[in-house]
């Protein structure tokens, strides 16, 4: 047996207002006149947050379109644009939700690794460290701030650049930055964290490391979405730590059925990660009975609508595409259902599940 020896984030700063320390944090990372590039979710165009980014010299803010999840073509185009314009850069700072943070990680790696980001989709294919990279979440739940992957949709698959060079060198966890998130978005992304916890805690890969973080993250999610009647300032603090702990939990275990199925939706239909997981979780009583019951309670209590009928009218070929993408996520299925998962989750059974969504 070989134990996972995983690379973690380099530095972490946490606290309300810690974003104001960014200038000081970046200072030692600046190289001659090579600029820092801030990849910022387009949601913040013209916002006070954008105005507080500590620009120096030739630094640039690039607002990134996160209407769809990051694509390898988008990563390659951004890296090329930066190389053409600046030659060398000092670093890439991702500010936003999971998509903006994943884009920052991927662009950092593609500043130093040749070819296309599609060449590195998989496990441990990245050969060179990227340029300095920092992640600053403005939505809590994805765990992208701590993960060793950056999930990208490529020409043939949706898969991360999973490597020891992928984690951020620095993360800035400032709960103040999440206060203006739209309620729906906040819920879907928060549920991504809740689902990480359920999938990790109910999975066959569980160990005490994952359990310790998973239980804490689950408790924080429950305080925010089950116990409280209203969102308050403290909810931002709690959910930010839930996201971090949930990410740490799956770092040493794995996600499960909701993620494996939602990857198929996202590949074919472009369904975003948080909402896609919610659409799937809504129908997973058979696998996570207690978690799904509580999930449905949170949906109702928080007045959220989960879309239904999204697979209506799809062709056999389209169902097959989703099934192929989903069944390709072998470690997720093995964690969820055990080593004989292929006998349990047949193509027919998965098709029936997709038809319900
Ligand atoms: Zn997730």
324 Cα–ligand 1 center, Å: 19
Q: Give distance in angstroms: CA of 60 to centre of ligand 1.
A: 30
* CA 197 – ligand 1 centroid, Å: 10
How remote is the CA of residue 41 from the centroid of ligand 1, in Å? Answer: 18
| CA angle in degrees (0–180, nearest 5) for 265-41-150 | 50
Give residue 54 CA to ligand 1 midpoint distance, Å. Answer: 30
Q: Which residues contact 194 (CB under 8 A, 6 or more apart)?
A: 141, 218, 221, 225, 246, 291, 295, 298
What per-residue confidence (pLDDT) applies to 2? Answer: 77
Of 175, 172, 186, the C-alpha closest to 135 is: 172
Q: How far is the CA of 274 from the centre of ligand 1 (A)?
A: 7
Token pair, residue 79, equals 């890296």
The Å distance, Cα 214 to ligand 1 centre, comes to 13
Write the CA distances from 170 to 14, 17, 24, 91, 153, integer angstroms: 11, 16, 13, 11, 25
Torsion of CA 14, 206, 188, 326, to 10 degrees: 130
Q: Please tell me the distance from the alpha carbon of residue 283 to that of residue 189, in angstroms, as a whole number.
A: 18
Which DSSP category does 181 fall into? S
Q: 193 C-alpha to center of ligand 1: Å?
A: 7
Q: Is 345 helix (H, G, I), strand (E, B) or coil?
A: coil
Q: 11-178 — its CATH code? A: 3.40.50.1970
pLDDT at 120 (0 to 100):
96
Distance 213 CA to ligand 1 centre (A): 15
Q: Ligand 1 centre from 57 Cα, in Å? A: 37
Q: What is the pTM of this model?
A: 0.96
Distance (angstroms) between ligand 1 centre and the Cα of 191 equals 9
In this prediction, residue 1 carries a pLDDT of: 66
CA dist 321 and 153 (Å) reads 14
CA of 30 to the centre of ligand 1 (A): 32
Compute the distance from residue 128 Cα to the ligand 1 centre, in Å.
26
pLDDT at 159: 87
351 Cα: distance to centroid of ligand 1 (angstroms): 22
CA–CA separation, 132 and 278 (whole Å): 34
What the block records as the tokens of 351 is 């098709």
- pLDDT at residue 5, as a whole number: 87
Which tokens sit at 307?
């879309």
Give me ligand 1 centre to Cα 144, in Å: 8
Structural fold of domain 183-356 = Dehydroquinate synthase-like, alpha domain (1.20.1090)
Q: How many angstroms separate the alpha carbon of residue 349 from the centre of ligand 1?
A: 23
- Centre of ligand 1 from the C-alpha of residue 135, in Å: 17
Query: DSSP letters of 279-319?
Result: HHHTT-TTT-HHHHHHHHHHHHHTTPPPP--TTTT--HHHH
User: Taking the domains of the chain in order of start, what are their residue ranges?
Assistant: 11-178, 183-356
pLDDT tens digits in sequence order for the chain, 357 residues long: 678 888 999 999 999 999 999 999 999 999 988 999 999 999 999 999 999 999 999 999 999 999 988 999 999 999 999 999 999 999 999 999 999 999 999 999 999 999 999 999 998 999 999 999 999 999 999 999 999 999 999 888 888 999 999 999 999 999 999 999 999 999 999 999 999 999 999 999 999 999 999 999 999 999 999 999 989 999 999 999 999 999 999 998 999 999 999 999 999 999 999 999 999 999 999 999 999 999 999 999 999 999 999 999 999 999 999 999 999 999 999 999 999 999 999 999 999 999 999
């Amino acid at each position: 047996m070989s134990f996972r020896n995983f690379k973690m984030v380099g530095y972490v700063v946490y606290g309300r207002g810690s974003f104001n320390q960014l200038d000081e944090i970046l200072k030692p990372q600046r190289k001659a006149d090579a600029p820092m590039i801030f990849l910022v979710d387009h949601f913040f165009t013209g916002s006070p947050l954008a105005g507080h980014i500590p620009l120096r010299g030739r630094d640039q803010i690039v607002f990134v379109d996160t209407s769809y999840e990051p694509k390898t073509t988008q990563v390659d185009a951004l890296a090329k644009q930066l190389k053409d314009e600046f030659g060398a850069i000092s670093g890439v700072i991702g500010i936003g939700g999971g998509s903006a943070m994943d884009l920052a990680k991927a662009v950092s790696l593609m500043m130093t690794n040749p070819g296309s980001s599609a060449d590195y989709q998989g496990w441990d294919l990245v050969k060179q460290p990227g340029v300095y990279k920092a992640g600053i979440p403005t939505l809590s739940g994805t765990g992208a701030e701590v993960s060793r992957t950056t999930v990208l949709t490529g020409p043939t698959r949706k898969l991360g650049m999973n490597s020891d060079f992928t984690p951020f060198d620095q993360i800035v966890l400032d709960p103040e930055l999440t206060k203006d998130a739209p309620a729906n978005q906040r819920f879907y992304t928060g549920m991504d964290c809740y689902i990480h916890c359920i999938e990790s805690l109910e999975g066959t890969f569980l160990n005490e490391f994952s359990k310790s973080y998973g239980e804490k993250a689950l408790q924080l999610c429950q305080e925010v979405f089950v116990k409280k009647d209203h969102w308050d300032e403290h909810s931002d603090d709690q959910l930010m730590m839930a996201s971090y702990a949930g990410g740490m939990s799956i770092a040493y275990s794995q996600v499960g059925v909701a993620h494996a199925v939602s990857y198929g939706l996202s590949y074919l239909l472009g369904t975003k990660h948080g909402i896609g997981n919610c659409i799937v979780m809504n129908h997973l009583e058979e696998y996570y009975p207690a978690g799904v019951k509580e999930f449905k309670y949170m949906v109702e209590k928080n007045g959220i609508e989960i879309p239904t009928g999204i697979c209506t009218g799809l062709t056999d070929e389209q169902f097959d595409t989703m099934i192929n993408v989903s069944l390709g996520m072998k470690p997720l299925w093995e964690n969820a259902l055990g080593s004989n998962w292929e006998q349990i989750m047949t193509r027919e059974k998965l098709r029936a599940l997709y038809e319900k969504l």
